[in-house]
Structure 1
C-alpha cells in the first residue's frame, strides 16, 4: 500500500498526462527539421530530457501553490497541500530533475535545446505561477508561452537553430492555449474563486469568457490552416484533416456561447486536447508521406 501511494503521489506531482501533450508538440519539429528521419536515440533523449524538465516545473508549481491548492476541492488532496510530500523533499526532487534534464539535453543533444527547455521552466514557474496567475485574468495568455516551447525544442535538437517554421508552430500553440484553459476555468469557476485566482470566468463572467474562447479558437484555426501555406512539405492530407477538425472545434466553441454550461465547457476542453494531438500527428504523417 505504501509503495502504491508513493508512486501515485509522485505521478500527481509530475503530471505525465499533461507532459505527454508537451512532448507531442516536439515531434513535428524533429521531423520537419530533418532531411531524413531523425535517429531513434535523438528522439528518445530529447523527449526524456524534456520530460524531466517539464516534471520539475510541475513540482515547483505545486510547491508554490500549496496554500491555494488546499482551498480547491480538485487539488486539496495533492501530495504537498495534504502533507504526504514535504516542501523540502519536493523542492529537492524538482531541482534534481531540472539539473539532470539540462545535463542530458546539453550533452547528448545540444546547448540550445537545453536552454529552450530551461526557458520553458523559468517562464512557467516565475512568469506564470508567481507573477501572472495570482494577479491578472490574462495570466494564461502571457504565461502560456511555457507550453509553446515544444516546437522550438524539436527544431533546436536537429538543426541547432530556431527557423521561422519553429516560431509559427510556437504561435499556433500560443493561440490554442487560452481557449483550452478558459474552458477548464469555466468548469472549475467556483474552485478558482475559492482559491482567489483571478481567472477570466471569475472576474469577467461566463459570457465574456465564452466569447473570448470563440475568438481564440478562430485565431488558432487560422494559424493551423496558414501552416499549410508556410511549410512547403505540408500537403493536401494535412490541409483537409486540419480544416475538418478546426471546423468541429469552431462549432463547439460557438455552441459554448449559446449554451455556457459546465458540461459544454468540459466537452470543449477535452476536444481541444484531441485537436492539438491531431494537428501534430498530421504534420508528421503528411511530412513522412
Structure 2
C-alpha cells in the first residue's frame, strides 16, 4: 500500500492501473477511520481490482463555528486499518494541494441540500459536492462507496453524478453500528461516558420509528412519536427529526414508497446523525 499527498501521484498510479485494464474503487473519507469506513473499503475490495481511499478533512464543508480544528485525526491508525482492508493507495493531501489560494469554483445544488442538515449547515453541501467532484476528477474511479449513515449526503452525491453525467457508479452501504446500536461515527470520540450512554437515544428512536412505520403511514404521527422519545433523554437536544423521500429528500406526509426517517441530535455539544429507510 502506498500513501501519497499529491494529485500528480494519484493520477499517475491510476493511469497505470487503467492501462492494465484494472477497475478502481474509491472510498472518500475525512479520516479517523472506524469499522463503518472499513465496511466501505471491504465493499470496494470485493467489487474492484484496485482500491483508493482519500483521507482529507475538507475545510470547505465546515462552518465558522464548527469543529474543523478539533476534528479527530490519526493517520497511523488510518493507514493500519486501510492496509488490513487491502487498500492499494491512500491519497492524503494538504488543503493547499486541493485548493489554490485564489480558488473560486464551486459545485452547488438546490432542493436536496436545503432541508435536514442543510437547514443548520447552509454551506456544508456546497463544500461536499465541490470536494467530491474534485476527488472524482483526480481518482477517476469506476465505483465510489458512501455510507447510508449520511443518508442525505448519499442522495446528494447520487444526484450530482446523475445530473453532471459522471461515469461513476455510486454504491450506498448499510449503517454499521456498535454492539449497543449506536451508529459508528468519528465524532463519537467527543462523547463523555455519560454522553455515550445518552447517545443511545438516537438508535433507539430510529428503531421505534421503523417499528411504528410498519402500521402507521402518517409521517407526522411517526415523527412526533420519535421526537417525544428523544425528549425523554435529558442530555439530548433535537436539531431535526423528519420523514423524507429517500431520493429527493423532500418531506413526505405519507410513508409510501422508499422514505427515510432522519434525525440530527445534540448530545451535549456533539451533533450526531442517524436514520433508517422505510419500504426499502
TM-score, scaled relative to structure 1: 0.29
Q: Which structure has the higher relative contact order (CA within 8 Å, separation 6+)?
A: 1
TM-score by length of 2: 0.29
Q: Greater share of helix residues, 1 or 2?
A: 1
